[in-house]
Chains A and B, each alone.
Chain A
Amino acid sequence: MLQQLFRSPMALLCMGIIFITALLGIFAPWVAPNDPYANDILNKFAGPSWQYPLGTDQLGRCVFSRMLFGIRPTLFLSLLTMLGTIGIGVVMGITAGYFRGTVDEIIMRVVDVMLSFPSQIIILAVVALLGVDIRNVVLASIFIKWAWYARMIRTATIKYTSMNFVLFSRSIGSGNFFILTRHMLPCIAAELAVLASLDTGWAILNISTLSFLGLGVQAPTPEWGAMLNEAKNVMVSNPEQMIVPGLAVVVLVGACNMLGDCLRDALDPKAVRQ
């Protein structure tokens, strides 16, 4: 399964991009050439140089250093969001899909209610209610997104519940917990991996969007969406300011989405050996 994944060049490329980005984010204080908060107002909008590899912004801060420090909120908060949504979604989805009946009805009606709100609007509403803070953005994202997961996972679970191997397992008296963890989870793992990597992409975009709107990470903390927002103000005079954070978001989200595709191929057991 993993061998198959490592054999695909696209998967390697995507995992490489995400892995290196994560490493750069973790070791940002040692990698960054400058302090991301240090102003050098005389050198504002400077071009690339040895001192500032990617130039400086409107306050003369090193763009490269800010990019590196910006990985932390962007990537790690989106991973946190993804784990949260997957955790709740899997538990709810499997419970609803496997036990059916009343439990299913209750969970799915809650899910219906959640899904009937447009996700961006409810995130804005939650942020407005709880205050402008990145923690509230993460909470709101988990709150709105788990329902979507629960529905997808419920469908996958129902598909496998009527399979003969689950029936056999029940007929010989294996416990529900055993069936759910040993049969169900591995079976829906393929769907789960795809959903997870796609969702990480979504979460990155979402956190960047809200920071861009000024509702997520607050200035002066470096964050890619917030950097784009600052660059937007000088869009006409210094358009190159938008390129670096914009490109970084596109590449990282693209890598997450492509990795989702590759994972789906690799987790299909029939495709393991052609």
Chain B
Amino acid sequence: MKKLIYLILLGFLISSSFAQKKISKLHSKQNLECSTCHACEIPTKTNPCLALCPREKGNVTAHKVGDAPEVFEINNIQGEKDIYGSVNFLHKAHAEMSEMGEGCTACHHYNPPGEIVKCSNCHETDRNKVDIQMPDLKSAYHRQCMDCHSKWEEESKCENCHTLNDNYKSAISPTEIVKVYKLVEHPATKVYETGECKRGKVATFHHNDHIELFGLECVDCHQDESCQSCHNQKLDFKKTVDGSNHSRCVSCHDTENKNQCAKCHTDKETKPFNHFANTGFDINKYHSKNTCNSCHTKKGSYKGLNSQCQSCHTWDEENFNHTITGLKLDENHIDNSCSDCHEDEDGNLSYKKPLCTNCHDEDEGFVVPKNLPGKKVK
């Protein structure tokens, strides 16, 4: 009997400790300052004396960008006249972009710990309301969108997000649904003039390489930026880089190390990255389809690797299939051990140039590549 009581007590303890980890729905039990929401010292149910939406103090802790729904249909606002159709808001795309800027709080400006607060929880749908301080739902949505969009869109064209309902369509109305955005054009190569620097007048930045070759995500370099630094194509990109020019590079490049300066700061514009030219290791032959990270596995580190195959590849004589090198060994050679051919004069394994002379007499004309120990394959 005693054991049973202990068991029940234990179970109760465990369950209660789990319950504590869950965020309480009672906001008074959350880790919040009362003054964040209440204007007076002792709020009551009848007089909660709610402060105006504390834009600055909001925080979103509930979920990651990836968990957010991909598209929201916004159809909960309606004016006197039903001019426009609903809007499909690409929530996920915006959430991902927001990681380069203010984050979720850019839009979700008030969200104490707990569930995500919907816009309509605070903003009334009825425009003809008593409270004139807080914008109604329609205004809140539009301000949220237009705050950013108007910074690079020359005209505030409603049709960029909305489709006109039939009654309001004219001959020139677009029939296609929703032309929401202009795709941002990535700059290919940027050449920055670094007037103040002693060494190197220019710094060439190959934007394309960083995306396509090095596989970086936008957010890896672009942080704490405004939407228009990318979207406003009219904006001179040079001007968007502030005094701390290295801020975007520093997460990968060691800008403090003075020996590294010359890598970017040069007298002339440099060519795009080429593995052979820059490092001496030609990847065009066998490794052209690899991404950087498949060899340079340590994130953010691209230090020189051992060029010996075995430093990456775990082949041994038993499981190695010579065909992947482009040479299918014929039956006379297939059972040879690696060192029979790939051995340099000092007797070390070397995969650069096979030595045929171990078995064949060069004088008799057995010279590679004239006489191959097999068939070339692609």
A, B from the same assembly? no
State the A residues within 8 Å of B (CB): none
